[in-house]
Every structure is written in structure tokens, then in C-alpha cells.
């Protein structure tokens, strides 16, 4: 019988300090996430310097808690997987240096993982992959369509040319004086609002799977300013519903077109915005009319965590990929 592969994952690319242990890339043994959202809220966004400091304070606490939750011992851990990029460089460095120290002290192999590969592999903690698959990644820093023909291989077929979907959500939320991160608040408002404003949809050139959300964001800002000047009252929930309708229509339509063109066997959705109820509902409606199965992970696995890093790290480890103790944080690491 094949021995289990036990991977310890570490994630510190943004504002979550996270440690997890995963068995065979599919089963979570322990998954601890310490969020810093409360500390960044009053600034309306993540302050990089504060994020790094919190990671330093939290890392050993989170690591200890991860082992307290389980019977697994260091002896059983096969390797340490860590997010090497992309993300905030100071934040990434805390995770990378912790992983290197542990790798050296415990004599365990080290595997650097791309944050987006992690978001994709969060899905494998719920259901195994069927190739070729198309992944829609929508987070605070990324909006991408990635084609995977096999494990560990990523072909970028579309990406945002300006703002990420989550970034647009957070900026519009700020205009509406909603707390950070704004995505979930817009989502809640959108559910009770009506699509009364016809915001633009950025389709870009025929056949392009790229995205653009900055024009939409500006259209929302202009609409709010113009209404104010004219003394016209716009309901926040209607702005939210109209904005969300534009984002969801573009994301869903492009994902469906790409899925058909590449004749994929599975669609997976990943990243913080995958928690969006409007997007989940529309994707489910559209793909239920096709024979392509759609996989969207539990909301807890959509936002940043280390189980997804351990899951992606398991495949990299099994494929023989190793990082040396010279591994460095790379804020703009490419997915390949
Ligand atoms: O993946 P994630 O936790 O961190 C990054 O890697 O960026 O994503 C965070 C982003 C934030 O922009 C947040 O507003 C957005 O995901 N988000 C949502 C929802 N929940 C989180 N956006 C829309 N609707 C939601 N329900
Ligand atoms: Zn993320």
C-alpha cells in the first residue's frame, strides 16, 4: 500500500497567517487561519507594514495551534510547502523564512508554491480534478482563467488588464462607505437591491478572455457623483445590484465561452470572490445547462488559507519539485 503523503502548508501572502496539514493533497488534518482584518479595517485596506508585523507575531502561535489540533507529529510530515508569491513581499518573507527555518531544523524538504496554484487546489480538498479543466480565479489581487491539462500545469488564457474583481468590489464598497473588505457587504446589498442602473460590460476584443474592471469602477464612481450633484437619490442596494450584475455577467460569459472552446471536463472556481452568492448562483445556472461539472469550494476554502497551499504543494512534492534554502519571496511570481 502506498504511504500517505503528509504536507505542512504555510501561507502569509496578504493578511492571513495560516498553517495547515493535509493528507494526500485531498484531506485536511488541521487548518488554522489567523485573520488580521480587524487591524486593517480602520485604514480601509491592507497596510503592508502592519501585515508583516502581525505575521511575525502570529506565526509561532498558529503553528503550535495547528499541531495541538492533531495527533500528527513532525516525524510524519513529508515536506513543508510555503507560498513564495505573488503577494506583499514583506508578508511573504515571514512565511518563506519560517518555512526555511523549519525545513532546516526538522530536516524536511521545502516546496515553494504559487498562491494561485493554491487557490486552484483548494477545490481538490472537496473533489478530485478531471482534466482538462478550466479554473476561474477571482480574488482581491487576481482575475484569471487558467487551463490545466494535467496536475501542476497551468496555461494562462485570460487575465485582468487592470483591477482584479475583488479590488473593484473593495473600491466600490469604499465609495459606498462600507467596511473593508467590501466584497461581502456589496454581495449582501446586491441581494436586496434591483438592477436599476445599466453599468458597462467590458467585453474587450472578440475572442479575448481577458478582463477589465477599472472602467466599471469609474462608471460607478461617476454615477454616484452625478447623482449627488443633481440631488438624485440612488439606493446603495441598487448600485450594488447593478455593479454586481455587470461583474457576474462578464465573468460567467467568458468562463462559459472558454469552457466550450477548450472542451473542458470540469470548471473550478477559486479565490475570495468565489464566495460571492450572486456569482455562485449565476455560474450554477449557466453550467447546469451544459454537461460540464462545476466545482466551487466551501466559502472557508475560497479565501486565503494554508490547506490550499499544502494541497498544491502535495502535487509539486509528488512531481519531485523542491526548493532550496535560498528560496526567496517573489511579489510578482508568474504561474507556470
Ligand atoms: O482570495 P482572497 O481571500 O485574497 C486574495 O488573495 O486577494 O480574496 C479577498 C477578496 C477581497 O477583495 C474581498 O472583498 C473579496 O475577496 N470577497 C468577496 C466576497 N467575499 C470576499 N467579493 C465579493 N463577494 C463576496 N462574498
Ligand atoms: Zn488569495
With the most atoms of ligand 1 within 8 angstroms of its CB, the residue from 91, 115, 166 to mutate is: 166
Measured from the Cα of 304, ligand 1's closest atom is 3
Average pLDDT of every residue of the chain = 95
Range of the domain at 157: 131-296
**279-293 pLDDT per residue, tens:** 999 999 999 999 999
Residues 90 and 186 in one domain: no
Distance 274 CA to ligand 1 centre (A): 8
Instruction: Name all residues whose Cβ lies below 6 A of ligand 1.
Output: 14, 139-141, 166, 169-170, 181-184, 187, 271-273, 275-276, 303-304
What is the pTM assigned to this prediction?
0.93
Determine phi and psi for 158, rounding to 5 degrees.
-165, 150
Question: Is 309 in the same domain as 282?
Answer: no
Q: Are residues 246 and 197 in the same domain?
A: yes
- Ligand 1 centre distance from Cα of residue 40 (Å): 14
- Tally of CA atoms within 13 A in the half-sphere of 49 that contains its CB: 1
Cell numbers at 107, concatenated: 530536516
Any domain includes 126: no
Any idea what the Cα angle at residue 277 is, between residues 272 and 278, rounded to 5°? 110
Q: How far is it, in rounded angstroms, from Cα 216 to Cα 103?
A: 45
177-217 pLDDT, tens per residue?
Answer: 999 889 999 999 999 999 999 999 999 999 999 999 999 99
Q: What are the φ/ψ torsions at residue 197 (nearest 5 degrees)?
A: -115, 135
Task: Please check the confidence at residue 15 and state whether its pLDDT lies above 90.
Answer: no
Instruction: Name the residue at shortest CA distance from atom 22 of ligand 1.
Output: 183
The alpha carbon of 80 and the centre of ligand 1 are apart by a number of angstroms equal to 26
Q: Give the residue whose CA is nearest to atom 16 of ligand 1.
A: 272
Asked whether residue 163 is assigned to any structural domain, the reply reads yes
Do 145 and 280 sit in the same domain of this protein? yes
Domain assignment of residue 84, yes or no: yes
- Same domain, residue pair 192 and 282: yes
In 3D space, the residue among 214, 213, 210, 215 whose CA is nearest the CA of residue 145 turns out to be 210
Q: Do 206 and 166 belong to one domain? A: yes
Phi first, then psi: give them for residue 21, nearest 5 degrees: -125, 130
Instruction: Please give the annotated binding residues, written as ranges.
Output: 115, 119, 137-141, 170, 183, 187, 276, 304
**Residues that constitute the known binding site for Fe cation:** 115, 119, 304
**What's the 305 CA to ligand 1 centre distance in angstroms?**
12
The DSSP bridge pattern shows strands 294-295 and 266-270 to be parallel
Beta-carbon-side half-sphere exposure of residue 252 (alpha carbons within 13 Å): 19
Rounded mean pLDDT of 150-160?
96
| Atom of ligand 1 minimally distant from the CA of 165 | 12
Give me ligand 1 centre to Cα 273, in Å. Answer: 4
The CATH number assigned to the domain holding 58 equals 3.30.420.40
In the chain, DSSP assigns E strands to 6-11, 16-23, 27-35, 79-85, 110-114, 133-138, 143-148, 155-159, 266-270, 294-295
Q: Which of 118, 251, 272 to mutate to test the pocket of ligand 1 (most atoms within 8 A of CB)?
A: 272
Co-location of 184 and 64 in the same domain? no
User: Mutate which of 15, 83, 91, 140 to test ligand 1's pocket (most atoms within 8 Å of Cβ)?
Assistant: 140
pLDDT tens for 27-39 read 999 999 988 777 7
pLDDT score, position 69? 84
Please tell me the distance from the alpha carbon of residue 121 to that of residue 328, in angstroms, as a whole number: 22
Let me know whether 168 and 282 are in one domain: yes
Identify the pLDDT of residue 39: 74
**Rounded CA gap, 243 and 238, in Å?**
8
Residue 160 sits in the same domain as residue 56: no
Distance 303 CA to ligand 2 centre (A): 6
- pLDDT at residue 44 greater than cutoff 90: no
Average pLDDT over residues 57-76: 94
Neighbours of 38 (CB within 10 A): 8
Determine the angle formed by the axes of helices 236-261 and 277-288, rounding to 10 degrees: 40
Closest CA to 99 of 45, 55, 132: 55
Residues whose beta carbons lie less than 5 angstroms from ion ligand 2 = 139, 304
Query: How confident is the model at residue 2, as a pLDDT?
Result: 75
Question: Which ligand gives the minimal distance to the CA of 301?
Answer: 1
Is residue 335 assigned to a domain?
no
pLDDT band at 50 (very low <50, low <70, confident <90, very high): confident
* Alpha-carbon gap, residue 107 to 55, rounded angstroms: 23
**What's residue 288's pLDDT?**
97
Q: C-alpha angle 58/43/199, rounded to 5°? A: 120
pLDDT at residue 85, rounded to an integer: 96
The answer on 285 and 136 residing in a single domain is yes
Rounded to 5°, the CA angle 69-62-100 comes to 115
- Residue 16 — φ and ψ, nearest 5°? -125, 125
Give me the number of domains the chain comprises: 2
Ligand 2 center–CA 163 separation, angstroms: 15
Amino acid at each position: 500500500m502506498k504511504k500517505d503523503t503528509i504536507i505542512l502548508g504555510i501561507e502569509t501572502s496578504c493578511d492571513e497567517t495560516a498553517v495547515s496539514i493535509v493528507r494526500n493533497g485531498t484531506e485536511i488534518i488541521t487548518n488554522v487561519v489567523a485573520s488580521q482584518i480587524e487591524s486593517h479595517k480602520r485604514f480601509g485596506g491592507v497596510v503592508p507594514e502592519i501585515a508583516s508585523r502581525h505575521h511575525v507575531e502570529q506565526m509561532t502561535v498558529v503553528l503550535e495551534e495547528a499541531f495541538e489540533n492533531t495527533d500528527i507529529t513532525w516525524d510524519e510530515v513529508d515536506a513543508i510547502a510555503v507560498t513564495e508569491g505573488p503577494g506583499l513581499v514583506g508578508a511573504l518573507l515571514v512565511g518563506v523564512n519560517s518555512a526555511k527555518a523549519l525545513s532546516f531544523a526538522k530536516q524536511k524538504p521545502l516546496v515553494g508554491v504559487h498562491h494561485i496554484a493554491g487557490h486552484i487546489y483548494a477545490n481538490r480538498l472537496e473533489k478530485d480534478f478531471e482534466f482538462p479543466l478550466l479554473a476561474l480565479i477571482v480574488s482581491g489581487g487576481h482575475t484569471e482563467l487558467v487551463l490545466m491539462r494535467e496536475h501542476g500545469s497551468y496555461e494562462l488564457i485570460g487575465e485582468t488588464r487592470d483591477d482584479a474583481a475583488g479590488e473593484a468590489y473593495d473600491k466600490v464598497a469604499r465609495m459606498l462607505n462600507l467596511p473593508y473588505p467590501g466584497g461581502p457587504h456589496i454581495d449582501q446589498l446586491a441581494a436586496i437591491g434591483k438592477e436599476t442602473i445599466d453599468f458597462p460590460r467590458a467585453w474587450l476584443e472578440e475572442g479575448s478572455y481577458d478582463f477589465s474592471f477599472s472602467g466599471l469602477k469609474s462608471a460607478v464612481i461617476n454615477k454616484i457623483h452625478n447623482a449627488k450633484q443633481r440631488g438624485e437619490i440612488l439606493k446603495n442596494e441598487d448600485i450594488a445590484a447593478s455593479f454586481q450584475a455587470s461583474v457576474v455577467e462578464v465573468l460567467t460569459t467568458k468562463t462559459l465561452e472558454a469552457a466550450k472552446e477548450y472542451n473542458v471536463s470540469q470548471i473550478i472556481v477559486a479565490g475570495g470572490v468565489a464566495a460571492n452568492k450572486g456569482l455562485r448562483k449565476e455560474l450554477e445556472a449557466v453550467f447546469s445547462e451544459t454537461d460540464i461539472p462545476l466545482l466551487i469550494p466551501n466559502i472557508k476554502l475560497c479565501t486565503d488559507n494554508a490547506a490550499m497551499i499544502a494541497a498544491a504543494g502535495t502535487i509539486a512534492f509528488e512531481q519531485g519539485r523542491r526548493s532550496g534554502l535560498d528560496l526567496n519571496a517573489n511579489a510578482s511570481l508568474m504561474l507556470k
